[in-house]
Amino acid sequence: MTISVEKTPVPLAILISGRGSNMRAIGEAVAEGRVRGVVRVVVSNRADAAGLEWARQEGIETLVLPHQEAPTRDDYDRTLVDALKARGVRLVCLAGFMRLLGPRFCEAFPLAVLNVHPSLLPSFPGAGAQAQALEHGVKVSGVTVHFVTPELDAGPIVQQASVPVRDDDTCETLSARILVEEHRVYPEAIQRVIAGDWRVTGRRVVRAS
């Protein structure tokens, strides 16, 4: 466990690349006291990310760090780490951030980077998880919140929720129902990590004894 149990809110960073609907769900959970944190900064690798405007309207600092300007992936990770450390961030939440984070970033925030993925990992990692689920004919898909490692969608799983796949589902209808669960489960998982009553055993996130 890397986040100690404290009475003060944990400083969070949210990383986005697009509309940031999960960012808004996290922000609302913070405002309602369901997540004992404070959003210090919202970072995007795209200046046109729609979610940046919501963050600005909420009075949250925003930062645009285009990945195209970094010579290498490691250089980008270094810049990102420096920016978050300068703001006292202790827990990083990816909310549609379309960049793989490498070893430098993960080592800077050990067991303190979370991501939400629209499938029951380890099934259907990567992009287009909802379409993959339909193509494979599964009857149940869902949502996974996991710790981020340099390997794609491969970190220890914090929390999951299932979503039935209907016979008449399209990628759009399945995605919409999964997104509802993402907005519910992600803040719950963040608060579980903040609460600190857990440990990682092998690949398993289990309740601390």
Q: What percent of the chain has pLDDT over 90?
A: 94
The two three-digit tokens of residue 101, written as one number: 């984070």
- Which residues are the active-site residues? 117
> At residue 206, does pLDDT exceed 60?
yes
pLDDT at residue 3, rounded to an integer: 55
For the stretch 69-124, pLDDT in tens is 899 999 999 999 999 999 999 999 999 999 999 999 999 999 999 999 999 999 99
Q: Which residue has the tokens 């869902």?
A: 142
**Pairing outcome for strands 91-94 and 61-64:** unpaired
Domain 10-116+145-157+185-201 has CATH 3.40.109.10: no
- Model confidence at 1, pLDDT cuts 50, 70, 90, reads very low
Q: How does DSSP assign 113-151, residue by residue?
A: EEEEESS-TTSS-SS-HHHHHHHHT-SEEEEEEEE--SS
Across the chain, mean pLDDT equals: 95
